[in-house]
Amino acid sequence: MIPDRSLEVLRAIVQDFITSNQPVGSRALLDRHPLGVSAATIRNDMALLEDEELIIAPHTSAGRVPTEKGYRLFVDQLGEVKPLTNPERSAIEVFMAAGLDLDDIVQRTARTLAQLTNTLAMVQYPSLGQASIRHIELLPLGNSRVLMMLITDSGRIQQQQLEVEIDPEDSLIQDLRGRLNGLLSNSQLTQVSDVLKDLESQFSPEDRNFILQVTSSLQGLVDANRQEKVVVAGAANLIKRDADFSGELSTVLEAIEEQVVLLRLLDELEVDQHGVGLKIGSEIGLAGISHTAMMASGYQNRGTEVAKLGILGPTRMDYSSNIASVRAVARYLTKLTER
């Protein structure tokens, strides 16, 4: 059991090291923090923290820096998370709300989060299993072309122009549009294949080739949603902080190039008492990455989590501010996907 005063000393060491990137000594702690004890007492507390492997001296006679275990205890002992300022909240809302469709919104979300946290930001697309169809539109374009649009409840809009053998009658297009929306509106994308099965048999023989072409293309748009995808932004932020990774940056960059790896890491992050999932160093479970931290939060649609967003950066990050940023951006993205 770590005494409360020693925990105060640990918090002060972590905060000073995050700010200065310099080992923290007892004299500096007394100068910067109202700990109310003598230098000798501070040194005793630091000795205890070192025995508990929460801090370490990088060099002989140097100050101390937090260990992975020290960062974890610091985060677990966080009282209140530093809230975003009103200008920060306003900037997030204005920039993200300008997104034209889901793809644009996801890109803007990643860029916003990277700028707020000075880390690498990751935003996962809503999963197929949770997405539902809001509307299907068919529009005749003339010259044997038809425009098909698929709009999901997550706000994603996909469209495709079909080259057909003959110009279909407006009545046929209206009939097919009505049937598709009647059958599929509010249905999950995973149900589309079963619903479309044998739909062409409900139409006259001369119209069936057209119906098959439309349903096949619609299934293609649905299948495009199956691809699990993560958008990242802010890799340059990691490069600028190369020294914080202690020679591990190349391993970190290789890991983030693998979509499968990022998706797995995001899925494994479970929400803690601060409203985010957080792993530090070896907790991430990737070899050669001991100076990296990762946190994430889910965003929702209609009260159900559909995907996650998060950040990846050095263990020497501003955990309090970054937790607040991740939570705030997740809330804004939830609002945008539900509008």
Residue 127 has pLDDT above 80, yes or no: no
**pLDDT given for residue 144 in this prediction:** 87
**What is the per-residue pLDDT across 97-123, written as a single tens digit (0 to 9) for each?**
888 888 899 999 999 999 999 999 999
Please tell me whether residues 11 and 70 are part of one structural domain.
yes
The answer to whether the Cα torsion of 124, 88, 16, 8 is positive or negative is negative
**pLDDT given for residue 274 in this prediction:** 87
Predicted confidence band at 142 (pLDDT cuts at 50, 70, 90)? confident
- Are 338 and 302 in contact by the 8 Å Cβ rule? The answer is yes
CB contact set of 87 (below 8 Å; sequence gap of 6+): none
Give the Cβ contact number of residue 105 at 10 Å.
22
Predicted confidence band at 339 (pLDDT cuts at 50, 70, 90)? low
Please tell me whether residues 201 and 61 are part of one structural domain.
no
Please tell me whether residues 182 and 331 are part of one structural domain.
no
Average pLDDT over residues 214-232: 84
**pLDDT given for residue 227 in this prediction:** 63
Q: What is the residue range of 213's domain? A: 133-224
CATH of the domain at 104: 3.30.450.40
Please tell me whether residues 266 and 118 are part of one structural domain.
yes
Predicted confidence band at 129 (pLDDT cuts at 50, 70, 90)? low
Please tell me whether residues 121 and 264 are part of one structural domain.
yes
**pLDDT given for residue 288 in this prediction:** 84
Domain count, the chain: 3
**What is the per-residue pLDDT across 247-270, written as a single tens digit (0 to 9) for each?**
999 999 998 888 888 888 998 998
Q: List, as one string, the DSSP characters of 140-173.
A: EEETTEEEEEEEETTS-EEEEEEE-SSPPPHHHH
**pLDDT given for residue 282 in this prediction:** 94
Predicted confidence band at 128 (pLDDT cuts at 50, 70, 90)? low
Residue after which a domain boundary falls, among 36, 53, 76: 76
Predicted confidence band at 312 (pLDDT cuts at 50, 70, 90)? very high
Residue 81 lies in a domain: no
Q: How many CA atoms lie within 13 A of 7 on its CB side?
A: 12
